[in-house]
């Protein structure tokens, strides 16, 4: 999207009578999401979900009724939710807003106060919305709203001068059907959503909202995106299959679909009926008769503390997949997907070692027109695209439909060694914040770690097209003694020593690559930065390493000051000079192993500094293979 400053726009207006054409983006705008958790009371998550479901039904059924009934909306599950950072005004003030497909009002002021700027226009209308666990009322404005790198003008927003029930957030970003706003504002008109206005203003190429949530095993902020303007094909696999919004009320007033559910291959849980897909609901809610069938099939017992079904380890071993048939496609919801992340049992108020199921009782029998809610525990396993223009919703499988990270997140064994290799997706990378989603719970036992495509260099993220770079984590892996990695970007000790403070075994760079040579800049600068990092972190530098295995340039870039017992240099395709010579001159070692091509020279390594420490020299000469 071409963007112009106010001054440039004024100059162009003075020079020509016609405005510049709006450039429509071909690719969607991705808005990062953060998952937030709050500690809860006994059964609070289920209670909030049920309260929300009840009011969603009532609001949908009242669509033909009076405005006061239509204003009674439930927007959020305030205990667990997904939030986005949204800018409002010019200059923009950033607000943390809960993302909700079950409503369409956008408001701020529940936490941070609404800051008026030159783009803020009071409409003269009041707004009032009641929720299952709170409410807000205030003034209706239009203002500029910034989502990622686009700015929507004249967007209807509410300033909540009074609010309750929204602890920890500033308000709501309502991205559901715009008709849900009818009756909430005093003039009675429908308020277009941010998706509606972004499309009508030519900022996005399609009136489509893509939803990508990531399964949780910790309270990480690495949680997914909202994709405005279309589905992002890099976030799902296979085809995106669309179905029409259901015609059955009240589900038809939301992101409603028709689906059936089977447990295993032949146990029917729910025959084809209407329900909704809802980001504001935490659990998978099933009509009471369907839930009873599910409980009987799984053998789960009701847990009085959480209000959820609880199963034993042996029952989990026998837990079969749920199969959701939506349109002509069937989607598998695996056994792992059906359980609440055990590392987050404390959020439920549950026991840390228990296994809880995310499927729960909606509170009413089927046949009511809203017989299930696929909440975010379900959405996390798929990619969802809501097509406003064509009144349809699409689904596709993702890496999270069944991913190794999710399985690791559920692991409770004391794991000493772990290798994460073999990604087939070219753009999938590991980074410190990503590890936090599935490794912290085994950090106390993990001693040997091997990582594929690991990145700690912020500039490398930009080369991969990941912007902004994922936030670095405070999580450490204090028991890791040996580390092997296929590293992309600069080997920055500031991050490596923080993550693995007790490293004293082998540090191995299986391969060291850059997306392009430009991001490396001056190698001497990287080495200097690593030297400064070691000086600044005197309380946690590596004291000694048994072995470093790497290429000459990597050894130079590291600039290690701690003693190293052995260095293994792979120099078949790269020269020893000047990097290895300089590195070993400044930090000589007793044992050196060189892997060289048969014609390579290593005489330059024989510096006076190395001669005083070297006791063992091993040469591995690689000869070219010739076929007779």
- Known catalytic residues are 100, 278
Using DSSP bridges, classify how beta strands 482-488 and 506-513 pair: parallel, antiparallel or unpaired. Answer: parallel
Cα-to-chain-centroid distance, residue 106: 22
**Rounded to an integer, what distance in angstroms lies between the CA atom of residue 117 and that of residue 138?**
18
* Nearest CA among 88, 337, 347 for reference residue 214: 337
Q: Which residue has the tokens 């015609």?
A: 247
Which residues make Cβ contacts (< 8 Å) with residue 143, sequence separation at least 6? 88, 89, 117, 119, 120, 121, 154, 155, 157
**Rounded to an integer, what distance in angstroms lies between the CA atom of residue 530 and that of residue 481?**
20
Cα-to-chain-centroid distance, residue 389: 27
CA atoms 546, 550, 555, 558: torsion sign:
negative
Helix intervals (H) in 30-188:
44-61, 67-70
Which residues make Cβ contacts (< 8 Å) with residue 163, sequence separation at least 6? 109, 110, 134, 135, 136, 137, 138
**Rounded to an integer, what distance in angstroms lies between the CA atom of residue 388 and that of residue 255?**
9
**Rounded to an integer, what distance in angstroms lies between the CA atom of residue 138 and that of residue 114?**
11
Q: Is residue 89 left, alpha or beta, with left meaning phi > 0 and alpha meaning psi from -120 to 50?
A: left
Cβ neighbour number for residue 367 with a 10 Å cutoff: 10
N-terminal to C-terminal alpha carbon distance within the chain: 60
Helix intervals (H) in 63-161:
67-70
Report which secondary-structure segment, H or E, holds 406.
Answer: helix 404-410
**φ/ψ of residue 487, rounded to 5:** -95, 135
* Nearest CA among 488, 555, 556, 560 for reference residue 517: 488
Q: What is the DSSP string of 358-398?
A: SEEE-SS-S-SS--EEE-HHHHTTEEEEEETTTTEEEEEE-
Using DSSP bridges, classify how beta strands 284-286 and 359-361 pair: parallel, antiparallel or unpaired. Answer: parallel
Contacts for 334-340 with beta carbons within 8 Å, 24 or more apart?
A: 334/381, 334/401, 334/402, 336/402, 336/406, 336/407, 336/410, 337/215, 337/377, 337/378, 337/380, 337/381, 337/401, 337/402, 337/406, 339/311, 339/410, 340/308, 340/377
User: Residue 554: is it exposed, middle or buried by C-beta count within 10 angstroms (0-12/13-18/19+)?
Assistant: buried
**Rounded to an integer, what distance in angstroms lies between the CA atom of residue 257 and that of residue 329?**
13
Buried b (16+ CB within 10 A) or exposed e, 318-355: ebebbbbebbeeebebbbbbbbbbbbbbebbbbeeebb
Q: Which residue has the tokens 């990092």?
A: 533
Q: Are 228 and 195 in contact (CB under 8 A)?
A: yes
Which residues make Cβ contacts (< 8 Å) with residue 9, sequence separation at least 6? none
**Rounded to an integer, what distance in angstroms lies between the CA atom of residue 101 and that of residue 186?**
23
């Amino acid at each position: 999207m071409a963007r112009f400053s106010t001054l440039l726009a004024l100059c162009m207006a003075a020079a020509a009578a016609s405005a510049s054409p709006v450039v429509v983006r071909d690719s969607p705008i991705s808005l990062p999401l953060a998952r937030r958790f709050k500690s809860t009371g006994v059964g609070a998550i289920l209670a909030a979900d049920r309260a929300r479901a009840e009011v969603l039904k009532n609001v949908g059924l009242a669509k033909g009724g009076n405005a006061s009934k239509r204003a009674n909306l439930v927007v959020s599950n305030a205990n667990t939710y997904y939030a986005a950072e949204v800018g409002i005004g010019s200059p923009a003030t950033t607000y943390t807003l809960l993302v909700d497909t079950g409503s369409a009002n956008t408001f701020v002021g529940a936490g941070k106060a609404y800051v008026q700027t030159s783009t803020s226009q009071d409409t003269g209308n009041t707004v009032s919305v009641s929720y299952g666990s709170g409410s807000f009322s205030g003034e209706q404005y239009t203002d500029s709203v910034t989502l990622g790198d686009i700015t929507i003008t004249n967007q209807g927003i509410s300033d909540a001068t009074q609010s309750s029930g929204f602890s920890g957030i500033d308000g709501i970003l309502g991205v559901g059907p715009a008709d849900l706003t009818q009756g909430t504002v005093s003039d009675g008109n429908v308020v277009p959503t941010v998706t509606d206005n972004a499309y009508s203003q030519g900022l996005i190429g399609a009136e489509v909202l893509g939803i990508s949530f990531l399964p949780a095993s910790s309270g990480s902020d690495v949680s997914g995106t909202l994709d405005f303007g279309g589905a992002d094909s890099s976030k799902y696999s296979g085809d995106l299959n669309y179905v029409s919004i259901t015609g059955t009320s009240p589900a038809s007033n939301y992101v409603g679909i028709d689906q059936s559910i089977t447990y295993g291959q032949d146990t029917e849980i729910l025959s084809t009926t209407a329900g909704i897909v809802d980001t504001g609901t935490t659990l998978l809610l099933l009509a009471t008769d369907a839930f009873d069938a599910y409980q009987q099939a799984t053998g789960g017992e009701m847990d009085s503390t959480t209000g959820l079904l609880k199963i034993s380890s042996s029952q989990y071993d026998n837990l079969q997949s749920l199969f959701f048939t939506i349109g002509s496609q069937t989607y598998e919801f695996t056994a792992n997907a059906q359980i609440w992340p055990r590392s987050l049992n404390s959020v439920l108020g549950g026991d840390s070692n228990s296994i809880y199921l995310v499927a729960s009782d909606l509170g009413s029998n089927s046949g009511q027109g809203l017989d299930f809610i696929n909440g975010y525990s379900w959405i996390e396993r798929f990619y969802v695209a809501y097509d406003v223009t064509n009144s349809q919703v699409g689904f596709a499988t993702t890496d999270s439909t069944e991913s190794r990270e999710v399985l690791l997140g559920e692991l409770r064994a004391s794991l000493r060694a772990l290798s994460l290799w073999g990604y087939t997706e070219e753009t999938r990378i590991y980074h410190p914040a990503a590890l936090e989603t599935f490794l912290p719970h085994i950090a106390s036992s993990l001693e040997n770690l091997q990582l594929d495509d690991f990145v700690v260099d912020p500039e490398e993220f930009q080369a991969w097209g990941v912007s902004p770079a994922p936030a670095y984590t405070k999580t450490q892996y204090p028991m890791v003694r040996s580390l092997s990695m296929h590293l992309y970007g600069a080997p920055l000790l500031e991050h490596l020593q923080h993550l693995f403070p007790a490293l004293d075994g082998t540090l191995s760079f299986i391969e060291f690559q850059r997306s392009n040579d430009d991001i490396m800049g001056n190698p001497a600068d990287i080495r200097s930065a690593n030297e400064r990092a070691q000086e600044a972190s005197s309380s946690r530098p590596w004291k000694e390493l048994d072995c470093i295995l790497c290429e000459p340039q990597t050894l130079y870039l590291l600039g290690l000051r701690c003693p190293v017992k052995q260095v293994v240099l792979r120099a078949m395709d790269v020269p020893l000079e000047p990097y290895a010579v300089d590195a070993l001159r400044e930090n000589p070692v007793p044992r050196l192993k060189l892997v060289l091509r048969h014609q390579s020279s290593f005489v330059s390594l024989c510096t006076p500094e190395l001669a005083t420490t070297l006791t063992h020299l091993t040469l591995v000469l690689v000869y070219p293979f010739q076929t007779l």
